[in-house]
Amino acid sequence: MTSKTINYNLPSATLEGSLTSYLSKIKKFPMLTHKEEYTLAKNWKKKGDLKSAQKLVTSHLRLVAKIAMGYRGYGLPVSELISEGNIGLMQAVKKFDEKKGFRLATYAMWWIKASIQEYVLRSWSLVKMGTTTAQKKLFFNLKKIKNQLSIHETGDLSPKHVSTISKQLNVKKEEVISMNRRLHGKEKSLNAPIANDIDNSEWQDWIVDDKLDQEVKLSQDQELGNRKKLMNDSMVVLNLREKEILTARRLSEDPKTLEYLSNEYKISRERVRQIETKAFEKLQKTMLSSSESTNALTKN
């Protein structure tokens, strides 16, 4: 990967009142076809072409804005959420590998969310909110679950609701109660107007469906199907024992332990691990080779 710095020249989203203007500007950047995206990513990675990198970023600014809107309930300026998301997008572009076969939107989504979530947690104070996986899960899902349960009260949750949320997120009831009280102080009314917005828009006007938009969902479904087919086709390079061990260890919803497979095949745990590693490397190499061949055909 090139070490050059990308000058993205992104539209400004520094003022809350300019949100409508910003959203209007980023809609003007064209969406990319798979072939266009592949070529741009290759030019950036191999040649350090800054214009290609910039096109990859600007074509995905709408995705960042959509994801950022989903975090506006934490009382933080949407412009800052979008800015943080854009940072995540830039990181995704730098690390994106077009040879893997999936679209940039699928890969970038996780970088964007991670960047925004880190910003939200920093702003809310990690000392107060907690840093365990369960606490972070509760922090980012409590509001959504309350909406699903049609809980609109601003006070304490009822014992029934506490129990339901506790079971759904697999956290203690005390943590649900405590987190709800902490979040309550910073939640913003959806009917509150966006400051200085020329159209007098309210926050509820920007509510985004938690579901992926049809274009992204279709792209993800297609890529998932392609990857599954590619993996299944590539499994022919493995012998029966390699296939069974790899499936049991990495492709099963309930992965088997080395101890279990050691007893099953009457071999040492270290031998099971060696077979698993070798099988995975063989499969990965075959999938990568097949993917490169497919991309070459697509390009031509």
Q: Are residues 167 and 220 in the same domain?
A: no
Give the residue numbers spanning the domain of 168: 128-184
Final residue of a structural domain among 124, 139, 160: 124
Q: Are residues 83 and 31 in the same domain?
A: yes
267 confidence band (pLDDT: 50, 70, 90)? very high
pTM beyond cutoff 0.85: no
pLDDT of residue 216: 52
Q: Are residues 132 and 111 in the same domain?
A: no
How high is the mean pLDDT of the chain? 75
pLDDT single digits (tens) 2-51? 444 455 555 544 434 477 888 888 888 999 998 999 999 999 988 888 89
Q: Are residues 108 and 144 in the same domain?
A: no
Number of Cβ within a 10 Å radius of residue 125? 10
Name the residue with tokens 């469906």: 209
In a domain, 8, yes or no: no
How many Cα atoms are found within 13 Å in the side-chain-facing hemisphere of 229?
10
In a domain, 201, yes or no: no
In a domain, 206, yes or no: no
Dihedral (CA of 65, 66, 68, 74) sign: positive
135 confidence band (pLDDT: 50, 70, 90)? low
CA pair distance 276, 268, nearest whole angstrom: 12
User: In this structure, what CATH number is given to the domain that contains residue 56?
Assistant: 1.20.120.1810
In a domain, 199, yes or no: no
Identify whether the C-beta of residue 203 lies closer than 8 Å to the C-beta of residue 72: yes
Q: Are residues 118 and 21 in the same domain?
A: yes
Identify the residue with better confidence: 119 or 140.
119
pLDDT of residue 166: 84
In a domain, 208, yes or no: no
Q: Which CA distances in Å does 95 have to 98, 100, 111?
A: 10, 12, 10
Final residue of a structural domain among 166, 184, 202: 184
Q: Which CA distances in Å does 148 have to 151, 160, 211, 217?
A: 8, 14, 13, 22
Q: Are residues 177 and 246 in the same domain?
A: no
Q: Are residues 25 and 99 in the same domain?
A: yes
Name the residue with tokens 């159209």: 199
Q: Are residues 228 and 285 in the same domain?
A: yes
263 confidence band (pLDDT: 50, 70, 90)? very high
Q: Are residues 71 and 132 in the same domain?
A: no
60 confidence band (pLDDT: 50, 70, 90)? very high
Q: Lowest-pLDDT range, 121-135, 140-154, 201-215?
A: 201-215
pLDDT of residue 36: 92
CA pair distance 13, 133, nearest whole angstrom: 31
Dihedral (CA of 260, 266, 270, 273) sign: negative
In a domain, 260, yes or no: yes
pLDDT of residue 196: 43
Q: Are residues 33 and 102 in the same domain?
A: yes
β partners of residue 193: 202
pLDDT single digits (tens) 201-253? 544 444 444 444 454 555 556 666 667 777 788 888 899 999 999 888 877 77
In a domain, 179, yes or no: yes
In a domain, 107, yes or no: yes
Give the percent of the chain with pLDDT over 90. Answer: 15
pLDDT single digits (tens) 68-110? 888 877 767 788 889 889 989 998 998 888 887 788 998 899 8
User: In this structure, what CATH number is given to the domain that contains residue 253?
Assistant: 1.10.10.10
Domain total of the chain: 3
